[in-house]
Amino acid sequence: MDESFSQQQDTEPKVIAIHEYQNQLKGNVCFDKGDVMILLNDSNPDWWYVRHLKNGEGFVPKNFVSKMESLESEEWYAGEIQRSTAEDLVLAAEMPRGTFLVRKREGGEYALTINDLKYDSLDVKHYKIRPLDNASGFYITTHKVFPTVRDLILYYSKEPGDLCCRLTYPAQKLFG
């Protein structure tokens, strides 16, 4: 690959596949989960035009990809789902203590939902992820503030802090 193409790739917006897409229709691009593509046009509300390194240019369904660096590209982000659905996802069969997800709440705030299985007793904990008033960070408790939700999740994946337990596994997302 020549250097100018590589530099161009670094500055153009990218999307990551959050689901596999193997539709062979003319004008569409097939891809596997995790593939990274360059976003060329996102003006259509349902189909984005991308350049895939191996499969060329074409349309992809917007709900199968997410812009890089967005929460939607994170395995643990579930989007706008109900609290009860979040509980079902973290308590899915065989999921261990510490299984978690982040969901968007009404009003634009976020919530962290954690499987807190103890001694064969199913339990779920919910924590509000609040933004700072000046929009310069996020917190669960005011004594520990993070610049992004991603940074908050990384921290609590290493140590539990004030949470019920350390975050261990992202819950399986709902399709679509």
* pLDDT tens digits, one per residue of 87-120: 999 998 788 999 999 999 887 789 999 999 887 7
The upper half-sphere exposure of residue 13, i.e. CA atoms within 13 Å in the direction of its Cβ, equals 13
Residue 129: alpha-carbon gap to chain centroid = 15
Could you give the percent of the chain with pLDDT greater than 90? 56
Distance of alpha carbon 157 from alpha carbon 149, whole angstroms = 12
The upper half-sphere exposure of residue 32, i.e. CA atoms within 13 Å in the direction of its Cβ, equals 3
Element housing 100 (H / E): strand 100-104
Distance of alpha carbon 141 from alpha carbon 129, whole angstroms = 9
Q: Are 111 and 90 in contact (CB under 8 A)?
A: no
pLDDT on residue 175: 58
Measured in residues, the chain has a length of: 176
Residue 70 predicted with pLDDT over 60? yes
Could you give the percent of the chain with pLDDT greater than 70? 90
pLDDT on residue 113: 98
Residue 25 predicted with pLDDT over 90? no
Q: Are 33 and 19 in contact (CB under 8 A)?
A: yes
* Domains recognised in the chain with CATH numbers: 3-70 (2.30.30.40), 74-158 (3.30.505.10)
Q: Distances in Å between the alpha carbon of 86 and those of 9, 150, 170?
A: 36, 18, 11
* pLDDT tens digits, one per residue of 148-157: 899 999 999 9
pLDDT on residue 11: 54
Residue 135 predicted with pLDDT over 70? no
